[in-house]
Chain A
């Protein structure tokens, strides 16, 4: 019985926190809200690759460090704490999908580059009518004499503008029925159009990606049917846990901002943190965050050690942390008052990230219903 972090994991947290405090201070995040800066994103990503973060979950034979999901979740927490932008999450999910379900040829072709940060991958899951879970997809993959052709439009594709390769979730005919397949499509094929979907959270970039009769070889269809659904479920659950972890880090950051401000801001001749109306808000944030931290650890641990429980735990963690982060963000804004409502103040960066985290990869309602189903209610 040791439900806690190892000394190495605590070290990883400290290293990541120090590194991100230097490499990605709030001023850098602010800059994203005022102008595009692809160069800044690429530079940060390169440094993260040098630290071995990008390949954290990749097997050693592809140059990765074979880390655990809990390690990755702790990094995600620190990235949430620092409101880190860029393709880290997108690439990690693509890397996981290829790692778990890719053909041998595609793995050796793409994994080393995705692991080292030389190429960036992203999974194209969602569509106009499927924004919580990739189901009843309209994007189709049909066989031709020379290979396959892809047609359809994906939405909410993470960091598509930086991506070198898409892993596209689509339906393919299987006899009279339909099946789910995942197709690897390099981003230099003719027929691909990438349009930004402008988001209030400027630390995240999502795109609409249209595939218009895009031709790829047959070997690009690397997984199908039940295997595809299982692999996608596992990566989706990992995404849910990473967003839960990101939310935890962000909520902790907002708590610390609120406490620091409540200590120095004075009204009626005393620090506002001495008023119970304010200090109780801060205490409530602690009371929400600490049990949620344990839940997030558990969810990450199930991905590593108890795969049968992983979907249930991921939905518990994602659904709960979504609520906690949003509640903490609102409360933090109320502690700050007017200053927190301004564009110049740091708070809105995390406030908006809380909203994005809340809805991406399954809304809280969606995860709650999934929990109900897993419990066989």
Chain B
């Protein structure tokens, strides 16, 4: 048991902190979590990622030949931790870095790796994820977007939904049905689609926070060259799942939760109750301390998982536990903040009476969105109980057969 970093890692951390102090964009702090719904903001975010990349602080664990640094997971964890601590803006190319990049490294052809990986890192090409469909949310494998192989091209028809960043993304990694007659998990392929292809229509959806973060995307006879298929034909489900299981260290997420909690404590010190600071109220203290216990537990849980990945220990269902626990915890932190604000909690961002520029209500809604996106808490519980605990699956559907419906 050793919670210390090596002298080399500590030196790296100091160096990165110094770099951040000099290079962090002035506006960055206020833009940390906002949706990308303004072209100037998108340009700033791309410039920020490029700057980080050129200084050697993006995708540190990727192989050098594809633009990474070939460093260990601890170094990446330090970068994640420090970025959150500094309240730096998130990376606009996150989907590329965390999802499609690792998939290409594992399953892509050499040509695909050389073509796509470097531009993911420099933010020259932004990626979006084409998974969910109107009829395929939690039951993702029932997706219906059809891709027919005609000669050397796929002809894609169908619709995706909740596609974050599609309104400005350059590429989409997309799950499509290539074999409608096969059982539903076995007829899916993983395609890389140029978002400028003729036949693609993107329509933004307004989120309950008022932001335009995600979209509907329609495909009408969109032609995709065969060499943009990743992995084998009809192998898309395995390819996508490998990415989900890809080592994603938790330190960034745990640090973000700590920051959110620290912000809640600051709020409790500012709010007053009958002339006294709310933080002196025993009820408030009890709630804060109960949250502190959960926040600290996730902090050390992240260290444990980092250590597991250093040692190469299998992660099992850890990713699902993390997703479930940290999104619920973040939401509970924001709920506590709203209770502290009382009637002011519902004052909008535009109200001159708002005490917090409407930030906590936005966070409250945003964190609920995080509970739903990327597999709802309920789906995570299915994964934990079925794959982790070996409990039997729900009997196969009473209405639908286990095959793709057309």
Contact = CB atoms under 8 A, between A and B. Distances in A.
Contacts, number: 162
Contacts of A291: 294, 297-298, 300-301, 321, 325
A3 B300 contact: yes
B397 interface: no
B2 interface: yes
Interface string A231-270: 0000000000000000000000000000100110000001
Given A291-B297, A320-B294, A280 B74 contact: no
Contacts of A4: 1, 304, 307-308, 311
B300 A297 contact: yes
Contact of B289 (A274, A279, A284, A319): A319
A295 B293 contact: yes
Interface stretch (A95-103, A168-176, A192-200, A369-377): A369-377
B358 to A, nearest CB: 26
Interface in B261-279: 265, 268-269, 279
Contacts of B293: 295, 316, 319-320, 368, 371
B400 interface: no
A2 B306 CA distance: 8
A263 B391 CA distance: 6
B107 to A, nearest CB: 30
Interface string A284-308: 1011001111110110010011000
A375 B1 contact: no
A368 B307 contact: no
Interface in A341-377: 365, 367-369, 371-372, 375, 377
Contact of A368 (B2, B290, B321): B290
Interface string A42-76: 00000000000000000000000000001000000
A337 to B, nearest CB: 16
B310 interface: yes
Q: Is the interface of A mostly helix, strand, loop or mixed?
A: helix
A377 B279 CA distance: 6
A70 B1 contact: yes
Q: Is the interface of B mostly helix, strand, loop or mixed?
A: helix
A290 B393 contact: no
B268 A276 contact: no
B381 A259 contact: no
B273 to A, nearest CB: 14
Interface residues of A, number: 48
B384 interface: yes
B385 A283 contact: yes
B95 interface: no
B389 A3 contact: no
A304 B3 CA distance: 12
Nearest to A286: B384
Given A274-B391, A294-B303, A316 B296 contact: yes
A280 B320 CA distance: 13
Contact of A2 (B310, B318, B378, B393): B310
A276 B303 CA distance: 31
A295 B303 CA distance: 10
Nearest to A313: B296
Given A319-B293, A371-B292, A377-B288, A3 B391 contact: no
Contact of B285 (A1, A263, A283, A369): A369
A-B pairs, 3 with minimum CB distance: A368-B289, A283-B381, A279-B385
Given A286-B385, A287-B324, A375-B292, 7 more contacts: A2-B1, A263-B392, A298-B300, A316-B296, A319-B293, A377-B265, A377-B279
11 contacts: A3-B303, A3-B307, A4-B308, A259-B391, A274-B392, A276-B394, A297-B300, A301-B3, A305-B1, A320-B297, A368-B285
